[in-house]
A and B are shown apart, each in its own frame.
Chain A
């Protein structure tokens, strides 16, 4: 059995240096569509027409993306007449539009943030991406972030899924069992606006309809680094360099607002 020990030693440290250094491995993020300038209003309207969820709309010659509705179907990327520009970032978590700027939990939680995850009707992708944060390539323990099995010890409630009717009760009970101060993060487009499931007899169309959400992480699913970034923002540890640069960030009037935290 000692070979496991040698195996561990020989493989060395595999973890990313993020957020101390950028992570640029191919495939670490699917990227995201960004606002794109076309030469005419007709072209922009044509580009917006391919979106099945209405996440893109044309503003004169500019196609504007609302990431909160984007389901990463890539119909505006491949096989369409007017493809949008996609950038390979992963820092797009934003304060909830309804709640305004989310305040970070602050220094007592800086290196000890306990996260409770609740699967509220998730398709498995967001949940798996959250789970990936525990693997050695991300290893969020090194940043003092832990997943906790009990809501009594949790500071952050990370919800995935559009909130199915059958999970609403367990979700609210989990929230009530958490001590103050607490923050709620909605991970994935389904958790923000309901995504493809929308609002129906069985789906509440996102966490904001049942709980006050502090931070939204668009994505279908958001890659592990986007979730990590949101957790660092919540802990008040995100450096400004990890926030999107203003050039590529969606315009403030549409789409998520990127909230710079102190």
Chain B
């Protein structure tokens, strides 16, 4: 299951017009351009389904687009949106419309490898079969719990039902395992590490010391957030957006609010935008301190682990002292923020951030002199830049492998274009590179909090309410783990018709196996901790 590097890149940079011209030249009438949702993004409608795979291949391999996810919508026809993000022209949507009776869709996951899991997910939840996909089946709905044939994301499925007949009662067994003299598979999870680890199952296969295949099995925490959001009011879905993944709660609630604001044409006041930047960066700082704590714990360097844990707890306390909640719940609202902060609170926050940053820098310096620590990280869990690009890894993990992608820079939101910051990146792609990126990002976050708060001006905090209209939009943020997107579609009655979360953990979990394979068993927890993944953010 090693990932072959992509063909030699002959990539050109495109702007919006050049991309439209090139697509028109290559695909003619098979792909048309639409100006749905204004002109901010490029929208291509795939008229001829046989053009879907070549179009996606062109965007991914030649036009320099990153694959951002897939959104399936069931209306009076199937609406499949393939999202790409191009550094030159922003978001690119490819839309495939199919009659509702269709059950098979061409699979794009061979040329666009990051689409693999999205198609597996859609197959499990919508019952669509992706032609040409190498392995569909047991994914979100675990085979030992769910009978085949249930499609919970279809509109006809009632989310409130709790009684199901026909439950298979046998245990799950992998369908494919390595077979060789001396080969064995080591199952880990879903309850492990005393349960303090999140619920994930790994099957590590080996013929000796090195892991030759690592298969994560996720979705133990699947709570059907996207399904139970349907038919709810936008205020109730805000609670879900905040609570499906608490370690990046502010980032996800911000993405959700921005989607609602775009759909309803709400203009956020500058004061709220600045405070949102400060709170997002506070969350990133705290999250990275937590990941660094995990890395120190996995290498069993106890003093540094304690040191990092103290920093994380101090930042949690600073968050609560500032906002009233240790995980920044209940602050974002469509149109702005729900509460204001006086200058006393903001200066206390700046002091806490400075203290935390000073402790982090001291920790970084000491770690860089700890040879036993560095031995466990350097040249371990290497993800080459080619693999990172091929898998489209996001966030600090991608940036540690040379992918300088950050939506705060590519598609700025909430006024990020007005602030000075650098996109931290490294080239080596090993565990130590990921650790250095985390420290560098923490420094940038502290600087951004200072900039945002020091340029804070008095003014209103929330836009005036507007009537809800039937519209749909995407909101995006650079969450601590990577770029996240929330797609919100309002129905005619003003409730949420479709809610889709494109979560960064989902993508990086898919890429984890590349880093784990060909490394020793005892490296596995260390590699896992340097990825800093969240199972609950992936599972939703």
Contacts and interface: CB of A to CB of B under 8 A. Distances in A.
B is bound to A: yes
Contacts of B536: 119, 121-124
Interface stretch (A25-33, A91-99, A237-245): A25-33
Given A72-B330, A198-B228, A116 B239 contact: no
B247 A74 contact: no
A181 interface: no
Interface string A57-86: 000000000000001111101110000000
A151 B357 CA distance: 39
A125 B320 CA distance: 13
B321 A124 contact: no
A4 B195 contact: no
Q: Which of B145, B244, B325 has the most CB of A within 10 A?
A: B325
B326 A221 contact: yes
Contacts of B222: 121, 164-166, 202
Interface stretch (A103-111, A167-175, A227-235, A250-258): A167-175
Contacts of B157: 201
Contacts of A144: none
B247 A135 contact: no
Interface of B: 142, 144-146, 152, 157-162, 164, 190-199, 219-225, 227-228, 235-236, 239-240, 242-247, 249, 290, 301, 303-304, 306-307, 309-310, 312-313, 316-322, 324-327, 329-330, 333, 338-339, 366, 369-372, 534, 536-537
A25 B326 CA distance: 13
A52 B236 contact: yes
Given A4-B366, A125-B246, A132-B316, A52 B325 contact: no
B235 A52 contact: yes
Nearest to B225: A197
B154 to A, nearest CB: 12
Contacts of A11: 307
Nearest to A130: B196
Contact of A197 (B194, B223, B290, B369): B223
Interface in A159-200: 161-162, 164-170, 174, 195-200
* Best-surrounded residue of B321, B326, B366, B371 (most CB of chain A within 10 A): B326
Contacts of B370: 1, 4
B521 to A, nearest CB: 17
A149 B330 contact: no
A166 B338 CA distance: 35
B240 A73 contact: no
Given A27-B326, A165-B146, A200-B160, 11 more contacts: A3-B366, A71-B243, A73-B239, A73-B330, A119-B198, A121-B221, A123-B244, A132-B316, A136-B310, A200-B159, A201-B161
Nearest to B315: A27
A123 B227 CA distance: 17
A188 to B, nearest CB: 10
A197 B219 contact: no
A28 B327 contact: no
Main secondary structure of the interface of A (DSSP, over half): loop
Contact of A116 (B159, B194, B228, B534): B194
Contacts of B198: 119, 122, 124, 127
A196 B309 CA distance: 29
A220 interface: yes
Interface string A200-213: 11111000000000
A79 B192 CA distance: 42
A27 B372 contact: no
Contacts of A158: 195
A166 B220 CA distance: 5
A3 B339 contact: no
Nearest to B235: A52
A68 B145 CA distance: 29
A235 to B, nearest CB: 18
Contact of B321 (A26, A174, A195): A26
Contact of B324 (A74, A134, A147): A74
A148 B223 contact: no
Contact of B369 (A3, A5, A149): A3
A37 to B, nearest CB: 22
A248 interface: no
Chain B CB within 10 Å — which of A123, A148, A151, A198 has the most?
Answer: A123
A118 interface: yes
30 contacts: A1-B371, A4-B301, A4-B304, A8-B306, A26-B320, A27-B318, A30-B320, A71-B239, A74-B325, A117-B196, A119-B198, A119-B199, A121-B220, A123-B245, A125-B243, A125-B327, A128-B246, A137-B313, A158-B195, A165-B146, A166-B221, A174-B191, A195-B243, A196-B236, A197-B225, A200-B159, A200-B223, A201-B160, A201-B162, A202-B222
A43 B224 CA distance: 37
B196 A147 contact: yes
B195 A221 contact: no
A145 interface: no
A155 B422 CA distance: 49
A117 B320 contact: no
A202 B227 CA distance: 10
Contact of A79 (B159, B249, B303, B338): B338
A125 B537 CA distance: 12
B224 A203 contact: yes
Given A72-B330, A170-B199, A128 B190 contact: no
Given A4-B303, A125-B327, A221-B246, A164 B159 contact: no
A14 interface: yes
B346 to A, nearest CB: 15
B320 A29 contact: yes
Contacts of B236: 52, 196
Nearest to A77: B324
Contact of B145 (A169, A174, A198): A169
- The interface centre, meaning the residue of B240, B317, B366 with most chain A CB atoms within 10 A of its CB, is B317
Contacts of A170: 190-191, 199, 220
Q: Which of B144, B196, B329, B370 neighbours the largest number of chain A CB atoms within 10 Å of its CB?
A: B196
A121 B199 CA distance: 8
